[in-house]
Homo-oligomer: A and B are copies of this chain.
């Protein structure tokens, strides 16, 4: 019986190896460089092995994206203190979000730009993603009045995402990134607000 267990263990290890290798490759050379051939070569297996773990390349991207959601949720949580949750906390959260995106561009692409086959805004939304959203909801919700908290968070998040993607694509000048972020935060959570 323990033979099966060993094989299963090796399988899990290889699964992790594929995901982490794909992520490394994407982070150093971009997702265009993550081809099934290169990936197979890096993990020192043949191409078809990848397809015994994932239905296709999309699913590999999805696995990396899942890691990203978990890390994003953890990073955001670490940036939010227990007690005071005023404008400063929102600003810190926004800053943490954009810093995360800027610091992990390939990861961010896997999460939000590439086709990763993951369900969104759906009952099957992955837990870490829902968790990150709930954290935003928690911090931002009290500033939403008279808006609905859900809509408020969605819109704020979309604005952050827009800033991130347009800046990364060179559509917005790279300087003043911080100023735009401050402006956005001010508009959603005015300074005189409690």
Contact = CB atoms under 8 A, between A and B. Distances in A.
Interface string A155-166: 101111111011
Interface of A: 112, 120-121, 147-148, 151-152, 154-155, 157-163, 165-166, 169-173, 176, 179-180, 183-184, 186-188
Contacts of A166: 112, 157-158, 161
A151 B121 contact: no
A91 to B, nearest CB: 14
Which has the most chain B C-beta neighbours within 10 Å: A159, A165, A172? A159
A179 B83 CA distance: 31
B147 A172 contact: no
Contact of A159 (B148, B152, B158, B176): B158
A29 B166 CA distance: 25
A166 B169 CA distance: 16
Nearest to A152: B183
- Most chain B C-beta atoms within 10 Å of own C-beta, residue among A120, A154, A158, A166: A158
A33 to B, nearest CB: 15
